[in-house]
Amino acid sequence: MPDIIHKLTGPAAYLMVLLYLIDSITPVELYVLYGIPAALLLLISMIYITMPGRIIIGLLLATGIVLHIQLSLPAAVWIESFSANVNILGLFLFVPIIGWYMSYTGYLEDLKQVIVKRAREKGSKPYRTSFFLMLTTGMLLNFGAISLIRQIADESFQSFYPKKLTVHLMRGFAACMLWSPYFVNIGLVLSIFHVSWFSIGWAGLSLAVVYSIAAGLFLKVLSFSDDPPAVNQAEAGRKASLLPLLRFAAVFVILSLTWYGLAEQSMIAIVSWLGLLVPISYAGIKGELPGFFRESAGYITSAFSRLKNEIAVFIAAGFFGTALSFTAAGAIVTDILLELTGGSVLLLSFMIMGATAVLAMIGIHPVVIIIGVGGSLNYEAAGISAEYAAMLLVLSWTCATQVSPFSGQMLMTARLIGVRPIELSRQNAAFVTASAIASGLLLYSFHAFGLL
């Protein structure tokens, strides 16, 4: 990527999302100011993504353009369509600032030292400890938690199978996806169905428990033919405290949930705002702002290189989804699904989950299916609530990304353990199938008993 594009597109993406955030708290509509940059970033990103991705994004964009033209939608709607998913990109751009600061100020190093010390004094339980770390830190650190905890394991645990542990971590990451309000899939369904996180969070946590139990059971049969044990001599570990890290995390979580409960704002906007403001406030109080800004500059300028696929997928999907919402697709899709399933909510649920996984396996990002189904499905006619529909799509997304060789978590995990993504997909298929069935039945029981 030419240096000039590399240096300009990253800051442009941050500025685009910042304009959205300002728009979210002011009565003045600013979508033109970030809708046009979104369209430009989409076109630029298509130059640098892979050919299969270019084909999928091109189809979404072309279909969206045709729909906009056929429906004679005004220019303002075109711009608003390109801006539709800029809010989602805020989670990719601003939430990671939390992790940058936790690393810069030493909180994550303190966490590592505490684990090193515990492993030396009480012996290491690598799989249990790493999974617990994923469930607790993954809710905030997102993708970054997988590589961070693997690094901690490499430096702390005395004996473990690296590939086995890393895949176990990836499964723990999926459990976070089912409930954490700081994840993209949760933020998206809250936005699509206009439901509160407080009304579905408990269901997501319940599904996460089932997923975690399944991960524990399948750990016994998880193995790779070429996975020699890593044997380390645990270091002494310096004295460190987790209190600063816990206070920082508590401040973020309490502020986000309080703000969400009191204000009429989306969780996406709130989390993005706090992802920016809390680290900067902490750095300012501790006199770390100059160094933290210097450290962050590199992340900002490289943002487009890291997130070009997400920028392309989410902006194109938003453009397509907005156009689709002006059509009669909702009634048509609902009628087809009801006819195929005979009106059975259980069959409808597993059909959507299965279709999402199959399409993800051939490279179609779950966000396309989620926006397509979520924006089209008449859930009342299907006999389900908005909350049930939201959790169904969250579960569908989660399971699909755990088996698709094109998903971000699969690509990262495959790179960490040195296997091809398709091989990892095969390795995880039985676990995902069992977890999807168990979680799907539990979710359906919430509907059957009138809880969701």
Helices 75-83, 303-325: crossing angle, 10 deg rounding: 130
Helices 197-219, 386-403: crossing angle, 10 deg rounding: 30
Q: Any bridge partners for residue 230, and if so which?
A: 160
Distance CA 395, CA 6 (A): 35
Mean pLDDT confidence for 273-286: 95
**pTM of the predicted protein model:** 0.91
Residue 279 in contact with residue 266, Cβ under 8 Å? Answer: no
pLDDT band at residue 237 under the 50/70/90 scheme: low
Name the least confident of 80-89, 143-152, 338-347, 391-400: 143-152
> For 28, which DSSP code?
S
Strands (E), 201-270: 230-231
Percent of the chain predicted with pLDDT > 90: 64
Q: How many CB atoms lie within 10 A of CB 299?
A: 16
- What are the tens digits of pLDDT across the range 43-84? 999 999 988 889 999 999 999 999 999 999 999 999 999 999
pLDDT band at residue 34 under the 50/70/90 scheme: very high
Distance CA 301, CA 9 (A): 7
- What are the tens digits of pLDDT across the range 381-428? 888 999 999 999 999 999 999 999 988 899 889 999 999 999 999 999
Candidates 205, 190, 257; CA nearest to 393 is 190
- Alpha helices by DSSP H, 194-242: 197-219
pLDDT at 234 over 60: no
- What are the tens digits of pLDDT across the range 159-196? 889 999 999 999 999 999 999 999 999 999 998 899 99
Distance CA 139, CA 173 (A): 8
Candidates 331, 325, 332, 444; CA nearest to 388 is 444
Distance CA 105, CA 291 (A): 10
Q: Which of the pair, 363 or 244, is modelled with greater confidence? A: 244
- Rounded to 5°, angle at Cα 319 from 334 and 87: 100
Candidates 264, 227, 143, 237; CA nearest to 427 is 227
pLDDT at 142 over 60: yes
Q: How many CB atoms lie within 10 A of CB 286?
A: 12
